[in-house]
Amino acid sequence: MRLLNTESLELREFHGTAVPPYATLSHTWVDGEEISFRDFVDLSPSTKTKSGYRKIRGACKIARQDGIDWIWIDTNCIDKASSAELTEAINSMYNWYRGSRICYAYLADVPRHPFRKSKWFRRGWTLQELIAPRRLVFYSNSWVKIGDRSDLAGDISAITGIEEPLLRGGADLHTVSIAKKMSWAARRETTRVEDIAYCLLGLFDVNMPLLYGEGSKAFIRLQEEIIKTSNDHTIFCWSRNGSVSTEWTNMLAPSPAAFIDAGDYVPIDAWDSPMPYSLTNLGLSIYLPVVYTLTQLFVVLDAGLLQGRPDMRACIAMQRTNPRRSGSNILDRSRVLRNPIMLSKEATDTRERLNLFIRSRHVPRLGSPYKLHGPPIFKHGVLLFVDPTAKRLLSTGKRGAPLGAVGYDIETHPDGIFDENTALLKLPAFDGGSSFLTSGLLRICFKSPQDTDFYVFFAVIWTLGGKEVWHCSVHSAEDFRFIKLVIQEFVDEGGAPVDEEELIHNYLRKEVWENRCKQLTAHTSDESLFVSIGGTMNLIPGSDIRAAMLSGKSESPYSVPVSATDISGVVDETDDDEYVEESDEEELEDWDSSNEEESQSSGVLTEEPKGFPRWDIQSSAENSQALSSTS
């Protein structure tokens, strides 16, 4: 390394054990004012007038006062005209700061700006300069000492998000998760796009050549280098926030900004022995457990939340590169779900493991089969998972692989409430007035004539006490043969065609309204298919989205995602059996009697929600005509 003598201002190169004790300078560059290696060697009177030269002299003076004869400064101690020297310096920079006796952080905009507002805390290169030195001292623009890093640890932690023990030297950087380190860089900036990756090399203890001109690919290369030496799955726990293009389907993040909300993710021991993963020409090759939904799958990572339940795992939504090939193990990261979701151990530890290939490089797509939708306007939703025991939904010979678009189509009533990209059923919002019920009907339409279609129904009832009670049921199409007969009879008598799904939906709405009770599990009459509602997932702020499991046996564990995906660290510990308190159940049972007077006095209506037909199967034609006019 090349060092500057603090007394004579002589530049001299040192190697290996011959390197003398030295100081380092951390600072932010000012365009047109910095002194390069060549400027310093060929020193001219005009060069001495620049603020960069005065900065060098000031740092040398402070070092001499501390009894240090040599100092390293990145502006004039690196010959940036030599690409080889620049590459060596950037790959060694973290260790050079680490090896210094002391580092001086020169804040050029303090005291003009408050300490916490200094530009120094927003630059990419100063992140490693904050962490690496054994001792770091802050100075103002007039070289007045502000304080040591250890003394200012509380303020610096509040500014940067870096924990105080690490700033005081009492914690090991190697114990910090990849996602946490990336989150430190999420709000930092560099002049050149590539430098946001190069400035993090030392932080992750990796080396790679510099390729200025590669742009954002540099950050992908950085993550690929990290993967070669780490099995920390938090590197995949970034979020699809405003910094990420909707076209980005890589498993790796496009920039540190995608990790801005990922600081609470931590690696956890694998339930089985950890498996290696590597990069191939197809992308990231990794062996992971998978959890299926009706239209896509989630990979289960060995990662959780620092303040979350220890039995929860972070899961990433994936989509097959060819959605028409359910057996394909070449995947893209979902472009729809913003964050990883948290699933319980019981919902994931019995799942099959697959050797997957997940794209790690950006592949532009033309005419993508996936339709992207704007933010949905709804409050209640159900994310539909498929248990391997649900044989009717699986591909023949491919254990656990959902048939998806290959074996069945999905229809709903009302139309358009099922999002194929997310397997999310969005229940229409309460319409106010006398409507105390929202519901949605999903029909699985098998393409094979040997398979009978079935219906899955979800509803939420709003109680007088302001509670929301969930209800689910699942039915074979044979259960509604009587409705088909009603429709056929009505049409034969000259009536207009009636929508079958609409009639079935209204029939189920009527039934759940009359019972007014919670029902978190249900099965078909032949017990070939079970449905169960699990815990809340905060996928969308302000919405109540539940996990539901379709399985082939009653004891099959359903998903219980209880942790918010906004990475707040807050865990919903609500017990499934306590969704409706006893007092709320009593309100439901006595709605029409004991609460009638109170309802009328408070202006709350107790009649059936709008659009409910009066069912009288004996008068099928009249009922069908009435039903056909409802929505």
* Residue pLDDT, tens place only, 60-96: 999 999 999 999 999 999 999 999 999 999 999 999 9
Of residues 429 and 83, more confidence is placed in 83
pLDDT tens digits, one per residue of 256-265: 999 999 999 9
Say whether pLDDT at 597 is over 80.
no
Helix (H) or strand (E) holding 91: helix 83-99
DSSP states of 122-184 = GBSHHHHHHHS-SSEEEE-TT--EEEETTTTHHHHHHHH---HHHHTT-S-GGGS-HHHHHHH
Say whether pLDDT at 475 is over 50.
yes
Strand, helix or coil for residue 83: helix
Torsion angle, CA of 221/227/232/235, rounded to 10 degrees? Answer: 20
CA atoms in the 13 A half-sphere facing the CB of 86? 15
Closest by alpha carbon to 507, among 490, 536, 522, 487? 487
Say whether pLDDT at 566 is over 50.
no
pLDDT band for position 558 (50/70/90)? Answer: very low
Min mean pLDDT across 54-68, 276-290, 315-329, 457-471 is at 315-329
Min mean pLDDT across 177-181, 308-312, 520-524, 555-559 is at 555-559
Say whether pLDDT at 424 is over 80.
yes
Give the mean model confidence (pLDDT) for residues 530-551: 82
Instruction: List 408's β-bridge partners, or say none.
Output: 446
pLDDT band for position 362 (50/70/90)? Answer: low
Whether cis (ω within 30° of 0) applies to the bond prior to 497 is no
CB 199 within 8 A of CB 190: yes
Supply the pLDDT for residue 429.
78
Supply the pLDDT for residue 441.
96
Supply the pLDDT for residue 25.
98
Tell me the C-alpha distance between 235 and 179, whole Å.
5
Give the mean model confidence (pLDDT) for residues 303-312: 84
Give the mean model confidence (pLDDT) for residues 274-296: 80
b or e along 379-405 (b: 16 or more beta carbons within 10 Å of the residue's beta carbon)?
A: bbbbbbbbbbbbebbbeeeeebbbbbb
Strand, helix or coil for residue 81: coil
Of residues 574 and 449, more confidence is placed in 449
Give the mean model confidence (pLDDT) for residues 35-51: 95
Tell me the C-alpha distance between 407 and 436, whole Å.
36
Torsion angle, CA of 319/321/327/328, rounded to 10 degrees? Answer: -120
Say whether pLDDT at 564 is over 70.
no
Say whether pLDDT at 102 is over 90.
yes
Angle of CA points 557, 563, 566, to nearest 5°:
140
For the chain, how far is it from start to end, CA to CA, in angstroms?
A: 77
Supply the pLDDT for residue 602.
30
Supply the pLDDT for residue 397.
41
pLDDT tens digits, one per residue of 544-557: 889 888 888 776 54
CB 559 within 8 A of CB 298: no
Of residues 571 and 582, more confidence is placed in 582
Tell me which range, 119-123, 472-476, 538-542, is most confidently predicted by mean pLDDT.
119-123
Of residues 578 and 439, more confidence is placed in 439
Angle of CA points 130, 192, 102, to nearest 5°:
20
Supply the pLDDT for residue 595.
38
Supply the pLDDT for residue 377.
63
pLDDT cut 90: percent of the chain above it:
47
Strands 380-386 and 102-106 come out as unpaired
pLDDT band for position 196 (50/70/90)? Answer: very high
Strands (E), 380-506: 380-386, 408-413, 418-419, 424-427, 437-446, 454-462, 468-476
Tell me which range, 70-74, 344-348, 450-454, 526-530, is most confidently predicted by mean pLDDT.
70-74
pTM of the model: 0.79
Closest by alpha carbon to 259, among 571, 570, 569, 567? 567
Min mean pLDDT across 40-44, 141-145, 216-220, 514-518 is at 514-518
pLDDT cut 70: percent of the chain above it:
78
pLDDT band for position 371 (50/70/90)? Answer: very low
**Contacts (Cβ under 8 Å, ≥6 apart) of 45:** none
Inter-residue long-range contacts of 614-620, CB under 8 Å, 24+ positions, other chains counted: 615/507, 615/510, 617/482, 617/486, 620/485, 620/486, 620/489, 620/490
Torsional sign, CA 607, 608, 612, 618? negative
Whether cis (ω within 30° of 0) applies to the bond prior to 402 is no
Min mean pLDDT across 43-52, 272-281, 294-303 is at 272-281
**Contacts (Cβ under 8 Å, ≥6 apart) of 308:** 264, 342, 563, 569, 571
pLDDT tens digits, one per residue of 134-186: 999 999 999 999 999 999 999 999 999 999 999 998 789 999 999 999 999 99
Residue located via tokens 């009879």: 489
**Contacts (Cβ under 8 Å, ≥6 apart) of 581:** 467
Say whether pLDDT at 617 is over 60.
no
Q: Is 215 left (phi over 0), alpha (psi -120 to 50) or beta?
A: left
Supply the pLDDT for residue 613.
37
CB 458 within 8 A of CB 439: yes
